[in-house]
Amino acid sequence: MKTNNIEGLTLFEINVLIQQGGKFIMFPFIVSEMVKRTKEPNVYFIRPNEGTFKYAIKHFFLNLSLSWRIFPYTPIYVAKSLFYLVKGGKDYTQNILNELKKNHPIYCPDLQYLQ
């Protein structure tokens, strides 16, 4: 799962931005290929005073244009996409923070070693 909009930020900076109101949001969309259906998650880091509409509208139109091949499921996927557009996305903040902390532990130097 790729996380967008955190390029150049350290784990400390991400934690500070989350305390100020930032969050990790996912907008699910469907990619249809004849018979095969695959759900692709896209996770975005939303800064404290940033809106989610510019990310959500892209996924809504992607669902609308690609899900027509799966005729019986089209209304379900479009309605789900519209729901997440209105809601502002699916909150994945805690999951992503746990993954970041596992992969990038906090640096705690040994002060006796540094002297």
Quick: pLDDT tens for 52-99: 888 888 877 777 776 666 667 667 777 777 787 788 888 889 988 888
Q: Which domain holds residue 20?
A: 3-114
User: Do 14 and 100 form a contact (C-beta atoms < 8 A)?
Assistant: yes
Q: What predicted TM-score, i.e. pTM, was given to this entire model? A: 0.70
Name the domain count of the chain.
1
* 85 three-class SS: helix
In 23-71, DSSP assigns E strands to: 23-26, 29-33, 36-40, 43-46
Which amino acid is it at 92? Answer: Y
User: Do 84 and 62 form a contact (C-beta atoms < 8 A)?
Assistant: no
- Of how many residues is the chain composed? 115
Contacts of 3 (CB under 8 A, 6+ apart): 24, 43, 44, 45, 96
Using alpha carbons, list the distances in angstroms from residue 94 to 15, 30, 49: 11, 24, 19
- With a cut of 80, say whether residue 24 has pLDDT above it: yes
Mean pLDDT of the chain: 75
